[in-house]
Amino acid sequence: MKLEKLIEDALIKAIRILPEDVEKAIRKAEKSESSEFGRIALKAIVDNIDIAREKNIPLCQDTGMFWCLAEIGRDARVNLKKLEASIIKGAKSAALNGYYRKSVVEDPIYDRKNTETNLPPIISYCLTEGDNITLSFLLKGFGSENCSSVRMLNPTAGEEGVINAVVDMMKAAGGKPCPPCFIGLGIGGTMDRAAFLSKKAFFRKGRESELEKKIKDRLNTLNIGPGGLGGENTVLSVQMLTEPTHIAGLPVAMTVNCWADRKAQVVILGGYDE
């Protein structure tokens, strides 16, 4: 099967069916939520998940903007021009055949004319070990994206400063990003690098770290709750990536995903040079 078709199929599935771990976390939250209104909100979300799967339709009217991380193995055979063309073609076909809402404008300030294709995707490239290529996609709705933020902390802020910064950002977000939310954190690097890491963090593998758990627990004391209606399930996951940074700074970036934490991955074994 051609790469663009693999991408198209993965992106159409992603707007209709949540990743297994995401759906499991939402269903668990519905059973554990103590707030009456929070339970009502979660019941509506679970019903929405079931209807989208049954009817084969998007989970949300904001089908998002394509964000793609292309991780290219240093030993992979790759034709970057062809790889990029396939990503764009696959995304365009998914938007058309998957009934994506037309959500991208050309000029962000003035006429804001719709591209009518949901293009261009946001593509970031980075090198990894091995000879495979992994394409990781977020379908980034902007109810949650508008609540994402970066804080440039003093280098002495330490763990508590990081936690407080994330709590302050989530307080400012409140119920706007359609909680319960999934949080990606990027810490270190420069301002722009931290923001990049906060999106890459959604694909981090491995067990929850102690700091991730501390942050999640603090966020769940805010009583924002499902749908912003109160309760302890404000955030269902916190995933974090860190990198070295300058001695004079401590960048902290937070990307917020709503309950519809839509993701997709396509792995190309051995590279791509067709």
Domain residue spans in the chain?
3-9+60-141+263-272, 142-257
Per-residue pLDDT of 167-224, as tens digits, reads: 999 999 999 999 999 999 999 999 999 999 999 999 999 999 999 999 999 999 999 9
* Peptide bond between residue 177 and the one before it cis (omega within 30 degrees of 0): no
β-bridge partners, 137:
68, 264
pLDDT at 159 (0 to 100): 98
Contact 215, 238 (CB under 8 A): yes
Per-residue pLDDT of 225-268, as tens digits, reads: 999 999 999 999 999 999 999 999 999 999 999 999 999 999 99
Q: Which CATH architecture has domain 3-9+60-141+263-272?
A: 2-Layer Sandwich (3.30)
Distance between CA 250 and CA 153 in Å, rounded?
Answer: 5
β-bridge partners, 266:
135
User: Which amino acid type is present at position 195?
Assistant: A
Could you tell me the maximum CA-CA distance found in the chain, to the nearest angstrom?
Answer: 55
Q: For residue 274, is pLDDT > 90?
A: no
β-bridge partners, 68:
123, 137
What pTM does this model have? Answer: 0.95
Distance between CA 177 and CA 148 in Å, rounded?
Answer: 9
